[in-house]
Amino acid sequence: MPPKSGFSRARNVDYDDDDIYDDEDEYYEEGEGGDGMTEDDKEQMRLGTTRVREGLGEMSGFTSDEQIQEALWHYYYDVDKSVVYLKNKLGTTESVEEKPKKEKTTSRFDQAASVADQKAPATTGKQIYAQYSCSGESAYLVTQRPLPPMSMPTSDTTDDFFWDVPWGQVPSDRLGVITTHASPYKGGLLGGSSKLAALAAKRRKEREEAEAAASKASSDADAAIAMLDKLTVRSKDNVPSSLGLNEQRPARSRYPVRKRSPSRSPPQEAPREAIEEPEAPQPAIINELPAQRATASMFASTLCGDCSSATSAQSAPALQAFPAPYAKYKDYDSAAAFATPSPDDIVRAAQAKGAGGGRRSTPKKKKAHTENLARSVEKLVVHDEPKIRSKNLNVVAEYEKSDLKRIANFVVVGHVDHGKSTLMGRLLYDLKVIDQRSIDKLRKEAETIGKSSFALAWVMDETNEERSRGVTVDIATNYFETEKSRFTILDAPGHKDFIPNMISGSSQADFPVLVIDASTNSFEAGLKGQTKEHILIARSMGMQHIIVAVNKMDTVSWSKARFDDISKRMTAFLTESSFLPSRITFIPLAGLTGENVVKKVENSAAHWYTGETLLEALERIELPQRNLQKALRLSVADVFRGDLRSPLSISGRIDSGTVQVGDVILALPAKQTATIKMIEVQDAPADWAVAGQIPTLHLTDIDPVHLQQGDIVCVPSAPVKLVKAFTSKLLAFQHVLPEPVEVFRSTLNSPGAIRTLSARLNKFTGEVVKKKPRVIKPGEVARVVVQLERELPIEEGMRVVLREGAGRWGRADGACCVSVDCRYERLL
């Protein structure tokens, strides 16, 4: 049988007696066998019987023990009262068998009066016995004398007894005396039922027993309190919580608390952590707990262990810190919570062991296997780019032994709308580089927007802007091949707004093809516009040979006079620009019709011309010497930030040196290195490229931000120096003064100024004619000092272009620039 819970035990202790027994009869019958007599009662009854017989004297022989005991029981062992009762009873006619209980219906006062009437003569009055209960004492009113004879008929009522006595004037012989003495019935009932007295005694006894039981329960409760205290969570002030489980949270602070860094911890969280600090157990508090808690239940004992054997003072502090249900895990350490395998781990390990067919691997082997695996994983590092391996080719030897055709790059220059793009489209079309279907498609597309005459031009002008506007914007590159040469076409824009692009194209060319519109007034307009400027730029780039294509001859009916006039005027200008007459080629042609482009003109009006076609002139033109043995110098004409396969690519002509796949290059002025991953020459993959070619280099190991158009690419071992000032020999195309200029190194440029005119030189011998001249006239050669605002990669032998300040840029007279043939004698 499980022990009584503390709760039920407390309930029994606190029950009130009156709440249990409301009916005295039930209590009486539940007494000792139903007779209500205890051993004490029987003893008192025996002694009382003896004493009553002594009090009855000679009347004792007429009285049975049963009557005596009945009287004693009735008067609660009062011997005197019992004797009086029995004497009165024996003196009356009333049967002694009459039970005193029936007299309850008659008042005590009437009984006394009745007895007096029976014992005294009616004329002597009545002796009255009255009994009052007054604070535990008995008072008797006794008449001293017999009552006088009554004239009135006697009556048993008190009204008859005092009928002749005036109110308030009672005769002295009828006055009684009240005497008091201590009642022999301490705590008993007076004149009442002896059963009630017995009931009172029973209740006193039960109360005493209940108090004794409560005392015992109190001692049991102490043990219960001790156990409950172990489960009690204290507040910071060590006051036992009255809320029980609701206040157990602070006890969790016993577990390791992860502290936040002060910088990241919100200010308001600091007090919280202070609250969570574990509280030192206070055993003294436990002893002060009220004894109002029951002992631990079976459930609590199961969770918390057997605490009954430990004293509260000893065990409570240790358990105090661990709220249920974790109290049993006194040594719990969350930091090492997973240091040992969990029950699930053990089960899984056993299952794995069984599934492994009994094969065992020792921990040592497992550890070695794990380490090997870790090392293998470390080796599996994925690099962003595969390591580029160079074939270490002798590129010069490879070039010489190759049957590579002559490499020729030319830039198509001239005034806007003079027919440059159309001429190149016709060239490509006649050379079958562009097929008929593509031309038909372009022609149809051009017709839709009313520009059918531009169909051939669209072979080169591929962007929507260029096609819609009918104007070339950027350099268009294309390739064609002849029997002896591989050409790269650099179609430059003729509009003045795109001069920088024209310079970029010119920087990659070996020679220019100048296109002049032979139509009436167009040639003249071009001379005032970009025709002369383009010539000067091309010459400034070091180009010495030039082909002049007198275009649109169909518009002038192949007029020889017109052709001769143009040739004469242009020869004069070109020679002024330092082109030797022997290096100037004039070809009358019509790009739109293709006459004298690839095929000789068949028009009878052109019978007077027996010279070369454009293609023949291209094949014959002399190309500059290639410097393959010198250090790498490449002018970056374009930068492509392409696809995933080729995130960064550059293109430009190699001025000197060679490159091959795997080479590390240096980009200036960023001073950043890169690795050549792939090379393409004229849209075909190649292992190398040499001076004179315009390859596309696909790079890696460099951020695209470090490369831009106009940069110089060189080898890290022989970099180009970055300078902010240099001395140059220049050829003046107009008056030159110390003045602000824009300095171009290819398309890379910087603001600067001609700081000093050092000397005027002999145009052919280079000797000093005059030191520190005030001005340099057009056509004269001089030595000047140029200052730059920012560094540019410039070295001896390079060519730069000095143009007048931006305010005078692009003047319509075509003489707006100072184009300088810069041969650097020395750097500052």
Ligand X SMILES: Nc1nc2c(ncn2[C@@H]2O[C@H](COP(=O)(O)OP(=O)(O)OP(=O)(O)O)[C@@H](O)[C@H]2O)c(=O)[nH]1
454 versus 733: smaller Cβ distance to ligand X: 454
Of positions 407, 590, 699, 788, contacts ligand X by CB under 6 A? 590
Determine if 475 is a binding residue for ligand X (CB under 6 A).
no
CB of 530 vs ligand X, minimal distance in Å: 8
d(C-alpha 388, C-alpha 676), whole Å: 8
744 phi/psi in degrees, rounded to 5: -115, 125
Of positions 227, 416, 535, 634, contacts ligand X by CB under 6 A? 416
d(C-alpha 769, C-alpha 759), whole Å: 7
CB of 596 vs ligand X, minimal distance in Å: 10
Strands (E), 483-562: 485-491, 511-517, 546-551
CB of 650 vs ligand X, minimal distance in Å: 25
| Beta carbons of 477 and 511 less than 8 angstroms apart | no
Using the contact rule CB under 6 A, the part of the chain among 85-93, 283-291, 547-555, 770-778 near ligand X is 547-555
Half-sphere exposure of 449 (CA within 13 A, CB side): 15
What character string, x for contact with ligand X (CB under 6 A) and - otherwise, covers 591-630?
A: xx--------------------------------------
Determine if 421 is a binding residue for ligand X (CB under 6 A).
yes
Using the contact rule CB under 6 A, the part of the chain among 127-135, 403-411, 489-497, 768-776 near ligand X is 489-497
Binding positions for ligand X, 552-571, rule CB under 6 A:
552, 554-555
Using the contact rule CB under 6 A, the part of the chain among 188-196, 550-558, 559-567, 792-800 near ligand X is 550-558
549 versus 679: smaller Cβ distance to ligand X: 549
d(C-alpha 750, C-alpha 744), whole Å: 7
CB of 611 vs ligand X, minimal distance in Å: 17
CB of 543 vs ligand X, minimal distance in Å: 19
Determine if 472 is a binding residue for ligand X (CB under 6 A).
yes
CB of 450 vs ligand X, minimal distance in Å: 11
478 versus 660: smaller Cβ distance to ligand X: 478
What character string, x for contact with ligand X (CB under 6 A) and - otherwise, covers 370-409?
A: ----------------------------------------
Q: Is 750 helix (H, G, I), strand (E, B) or coil?
A: strand
323 versus 419: smaller Cβ distance to ligand X: 419
Using the contact rule CB under 6 A, the part of the chain among 194-202, 334-342, 589-597, 817-825 near ligand X is 589-597
CB of 552 vs ligand X, minimal distance in Å: 4
Q: Which of these, 131, 126, 55, lies nearest to 86 by C-alpha position? A: 55
Q: Encode 118-137: b = buried (16+ Cβ within 10 Å), e = exposed.
A: eeeeeeebbbbbeeeeeeee
Binding positions for ligand X, 442-471, rule CB under 6 A:
453-454, 457, 470-471
d(C-alpha 458, C-alpha 782), whole Å: 44
Residue whose token pair is 């005991």: 69
312 versus 522: smaller Cβ distance to ligand X: 522
606 versus 753: smaller Cβ distance to ligand X: 606
426 versus 783: smaller Cβ distance to ligand X: 426
Of positions 48, 494, 657, 695, contacts ligand X by CB under 6 A? 494
321 versus 614: smaller Cβ distance to ligand X: 614
CB of 574 vs ligand X, minimal distance in Å: 19
Using the contact rule CB under 6 A, the part of the chain among 38-46, 142-150, 488-496, 775-783 near ligand X is 488-496
CB of 541 vs ligand X, minimal distance in Å: 19
d(C-alpha 31, C-alpha 25), whole Å: 10
Binding positions for ligand X, 495-514, rule CB under 6 A:
495
CB of 606 vs ligand X, minimal distance in Å: 13
Q: Is 299 helix (H, G, I), strand (E, B) or coil?
A: helix
555 versus 559: smaller Cβ distance to ligand X: 555
Looking only at Cα atoms, what is the longest distance across the chain?
A: 202
319 versus 446: smaller Cβ distance to ligand X: 446
CB of 802 vs ligand X, minimal distance in Å: 25
Count of CB atoms situated within 10 Å of the CB of 31: 15
68 versus 416: smaller Cβ distance to ligand X: 416
Q: What is the DSSP letter of 337?
A: T
Burial class for 72, CB neighbours closer than 10 Å (0-12, 13-18, 19+): buried
CB of 824 vs ligand X, minimal distance in Å: 33
d(C-alpha 812, C-alpha 139), whole Å: 155
Strands (E), 210-316: none
Number of residues that bind ligand X (CB under 6 A): 23
Of positions 81, 254, 420, 760, contacts ligand X by CB under 6 A? 420
471 versus 689: smaller Cβ distance to ligand X: 471
CB of 547 vs ligand X, minimal distance in Å: 15
Q: Encode 213-236: b = buried (16+ Cβ within 10 Å), e = exposed.
A: eeeebeebbebbbbbbbbbbbbee
592-596 long-range Cβ contacts below 8 angstroms, 24+ apart? 592/419, 592/422, 592/426, 592/453, 592/456, 592/552, 592/554, 593/554, 594/426, 594/429, 594/430, 595/553, 595/554, 596/553
Of positions 240, 493, 657, 793, contacts ligand X by CB under 6 A? 493
130 versus 431: smaller Cβ distance to ligand X: 431
CB of 556 vs ligand X, minimal distance in Å: 10
41 versus 417: smaller Cβ distance to ligand X: 417
548 versus 634: smaller Cβ distance to ligand X: 548
Report helix, strand and coil shares of the chain as percent, to nearest 5: 40, 20, 40
d(C-alpha 76, C-alpha 81), whole Å: 9
CB of 439 vs ligand X, minimal distance in Å: 13
CB of 417 vs ligand X, minimal distance in Å: 4
Of positions 49, 295, 320, 422, contacts ligand X by CB under 6 A? 422
601 versus 743: smaller Cβ distance to ligand X: 601
CB of 498 vs ligand X, minimal distance in Å: 9
94 phi/psi in degrees, rounded to 5: -65, 140
CA distances 561 to 514, 519, 564, 588, 601, Å, are 20, 12, 5, 11, 17
Query: Crossing angle, helix 530-540 and helix 560-576, to 10 degrees?
Result: 50
Of positions 63, 477, 551, 651, contacts ligand X by CB under 6 A? 551
Number of residue whose CB is nearest ligand X:
494
Three-state SS letters, 550-579: EECHHHHCCCHHHHHHHHHHHHHHHHHCCC
d(C-alpha 209, C-alpha 15), whole Å: 13
Half-sphere exposure of 586 (CA within 13 A, CB side): 21
d(C-alpha 461, C-alpha 447), whole Å: 16
| Beta carbons of 781 and 731 less than 8 angstroms apart | yes
705 alpha-carbon distance from chain centroid: 31
Residue whose token pair is 């007779």: 35
Query: What is the DSSP secondary-structure string of 786-803?
Result: EEEEEEEE--TT---EEE
125 versus 493: smaller Cβ distance to ligand X: 493
CB of 825 vs ligand X, minimal distance in Å: 37
549 versus 761: smaller Cβ distance to ligand X: 549
Q: Residue numbers of the site for ligand X (CB under 6 A)?
A: 416-422, 453-454, 457, 470-472, 493-495, 551-552, 554-555, 590-592
